[in-house]
Amino acid sequence: MTGDIPAFVAEQIAALSIDRERPLVLSDADEVLLQFAVPLERFLDEEGLYLELTSFRLAGNIKMKSTGKAVSQQAVAALIGEFFASKAGDCPAVPGASEALAKLSRWAEIIIVSNIPLDARQARADSLHALGMPYPLIANSGEKGPAIKAITAGHAAPVVFLDDLPQNIASVATHAAHVHRIHFVADPRLRPLLDQAEGAHARIDEWPEALEHIEAHFLAQGFAKGGLSRDGEK
């Protein structure tokens, strides 16, 4: 561990090369940029299992088709590991995600922070690239606040963070309060299962609205579109 950050995460952050004078968008991948529930359901179906979407959690909701009984929490962890090992590169894009990030990239830095096993990082990065999202990818572990704090240390421009998990929003609020936080849940079936996360500045579940909100936030902080920095200077 390096402080509150695992060494392998700190190494990825240290390798980043970003312009500290440009606005920064830090985005989760699953259920923000990439669909997660749908490909997971396909994977579970192949294993004789199904996902019951009655609450926003996996433990207790992954069940055996044969009996309807929930698998153990240990089995859930193993299944998610298997899913990322075999399907990390097979998750479809969330509608509008690549287009919105492309527009934001004209005047902002973009980094994807995903809680994915390190050995699945390359497959996910390749998939994101193929889907039109060729941005730096940090494979994180645990709550994201410490990593976001490290990434944004010394950043002179405004920062926006998007994630679907309330605990990550709360963690960033605790460790990096200067970051503007958007709670985003892409799958329409999952949205009613969660209220706006504590610590979120906004709850937005569609990319056209998120794009408008992020641009408005950057503009309000004195940054203009088209790659201009604060006060319109290059």
Are 159 and 64 contained in the same domain? Answer: no
201 within some domain: yes
| 22 and 129 together in one domain | yes
Q: Does 210 lie in the same domain as 177?
A: yes
Residues 83, 69 share a domain = yes
Q: Provide the number of structural domains found in the chain.
A: 2
**Cα–Cα distance, 145 to 166 (Å, whole number):** 12
Task: Find the largest Cα–Cα distance for the chain.
Answer: 64
| Bridge partners, 183 (sequence order) | 163, 203
- Residue 153: name the closest of 131, 175, 135 by CA: 175
Residue 1 placed within a domain: no
In this structure, are 224 and 129 located in the same domain? yes
The range of the structural domain enclosing residue 215 comes to: 7-35+91-232
**Are 153 and 206 found together in one domain?**
yes
Burial of 103 (0-12, 13-18, 19+ CB in 10 A): middle
C-alpha distance from residue 179 to each of 10, 24, 65 (Å): 19, 10, 43
Q: Are residues 139 and 112 located together in one domain of the fold?
A: yes
Both 23 and 129 in a single domain? yes
**Which of 68, 87, 106 lies at the terminal end of a domain, its last residue?**
87
Q: Are residues 111 and 225 in the same domain?
A: yes
Q: Is residue 2 part of a domain?
A: no
Query: Three-class SS of residue 5?
Result: strand
Q: pLDDT truncated to tens, each residue of the chain (234 aa)?
A: 455 899 999 999 999 999 999 999 999 999 999 999 999 999 999 999 999 998 898 999 999 999 999 999 999 999 999 999 999 889 999 999 999 999 999 999 999 999 999 999 999 999 999 999 999 999 999 999 999 999 999 999 999 999 999 999 999 999 999 999 999 999 999 999 999 999 999 999 999 999 999 999 999 999 877 654 444 444
The DSSP secondary-structure symbol of 191 reads G
Shared domain check, 19 and 29? yes
Q: Kindly state whether residue 44 falls inside one of the protein's structural domains.
A: yes
